[in-house]
A and B are shown apart, each in its own frame.
Chain A
């Protein structure tokens, strides 16, 4: 469903991603693991078209989205939950979701469906996003991305700084999305959280692929993680 083919990306002259490749199937969760600064966030921004590719390609459902201008990427069915949430802080919950709906011309049915997953957002409907608690903000950021009925969902450290109950809620939504056939690329720092949901794990270092293994292999042999992350 999502294919990242040997992309090279730089900020100005500093190259960050080097021939990085990933592949996520529909109904699969691929977890991206790497140290701080390895290039995980950069990978997601590159997929969204927010950073220009020096070379390589990003393909979603057979369509090369990297040939399109960035604002066309969400229309191809890619939902993005960025690191740090990045809500439209002065807009209300309703307006944030309205923008998510507009991105792929989704209707009321989609919204109802999303709000079923996050009933709490209904209670906060006319509140500004910046007045929500951290957990509610993460719900909103996730709901905003789900509003465009994504085929591919990118989640960058969605549980960063959240309470355990909230982490569990987010984890459940991610599993629901997998069951609905969404291809999910997840960045997570905490290895135990990764192993509880991931199907496969891709290790990266300095913007390069290391190995990509199934989560079962790691569960069987935890030394793989130590070898690549040095924890």
Chain B
């Protein structure tokens, strides 16, 4: 294959990574923005989403779309409820103190991980995609000075991968609409801007916190349900999404949702391209280097506003 089609393929793979990463990172960003909590257990909520998706999909027989459909409807809510329980029983008790929440969420990380190992086991297990048609992709070449469409051999993607990108985009639009066009979104933003004044104007901040923590974990779980037909569920799979989400949230500007999405696309797509042409390790090295540069030269993030 020549370079052009190859680049298009790498970009598409990167777009799938970016879509899943954007969902996961927006969850992390929301929790940090509103609650000022650095949730180290975020990757484990992602992993729980994948593992529970495997479990839910196994409950129903028949067409794979049935099991997957059940998983995508039920699993994010289930993981969200687990996160709400963790918020109410642990984070609230330590008063959301910044240092202690880091230690507490590290504890939650190991509890979830080890419980999964004890119950689900160390195997990697797949979930069947609800639809998975191979789609050949066109490219163009210049013949007699005119562009001509042709179908290079091996240049293809699947309908499911395009579905993942579409679903992630739809959910992100939903989150944006929730934050900007609903009453609960208004309360969440007010809490984010000034927690004390939110209380002084009757906003039940503790309930807002529980909701945001659940929503953040639910988004990570949803991302995992989407990726598990491509990647398989494993009890250690939470590490990479956690690292990449942190990278994205820092580059995008802590707590800024549009910045997080743009950074996720930047990191996801370049990760795809660099992984294909060079190596996945180089992609991670460059992303981490970028974070270091951002922290030194633009601590508020590429897109974040400077805090007063």
A residues in contact (CB < 8 Å) with B:
45, 48-50, 70-75, 80, 82, 86-91, 95, 98-100, 102-104, 144, 148
Contacts and interface: CB of A to CB of B under 8 A. Distances in A.
Interface in B198-221: 198-205
A192 B189 CA distance: 39
A148 B194 CA distance: 18
Contacts of B203: 71, 99, 103
A108 B204 CA distance: 23
Contact of A90 (B187, B193, B197, B205): B193
B196 interface: yes
B186 interface: yes
Nearest to B203: A71
B308 to A, nearest CB: 8
Contacts of B169: none
A102 B186 CA distance: 11
B190 interface: yes
Contact of A91 (B183, B189, B202, B204): B189
Interface string B290-306: 00000000000000000
Contacts of B198: 99
Contacts of A50: 196, 199-200
Interface in B81-117: none
27 contacts: A48-B199, A48-B200, A49-B199, A50-B200, A71-B199, A71-B204, A72-B202, A73-B200, A73-B202, A74-B202, A75-B202, A80-B200, A82-B197, A86-B196, A87-B197, A88-B194, A91-B189, A91-B190, A95-B186, A99-B190, A99-B201, A100-B201, A102-B202, A103-B201, A103-B203, A144-B201, A148-B201
Contacts of A49: 199
A92 to B, nearest CB: 10
Given A88-B190, A99-B198, A102-B183, 20 more contacts: A45-B196, A48-B200, A70-B199, A71-B203, A71-B205, A72-B202, A73-B200, A80-B200, A86-B194, A86-B196, A86-B197, A89-B193, A91-B190, A91-B193, A95-B186, A99-B201, A102-B201, A103-B201, A103-B202, A103-B203
Contacts of A86: 194, 196-197
Among A80, A99, A102, chain B packs the most CB atoms within 10 A around the CB of A99
A99 B200 contact: no
A45 B198 CA distance: 13
A70 B197 CA distance: 11
Contact of A88 (B189, B202, B204): B189
A99 B186 contact: yes
Nearest to B194: A86
A45 B189 CA distance: 22
A99 B188 CA distance: 11
Contacts of B201: 74, 99-100, 102-103, 144, 148
Contacts of A100: 201
Interface string B58-95: 00000000000000000000000000000000000000
Contacts of A87: 197
A82 B199 CA distance: 13
A82 B193 contact: no
B173 to A, nearest CB: 20
B197 A88 contact: yes
B193 A148 contact: no
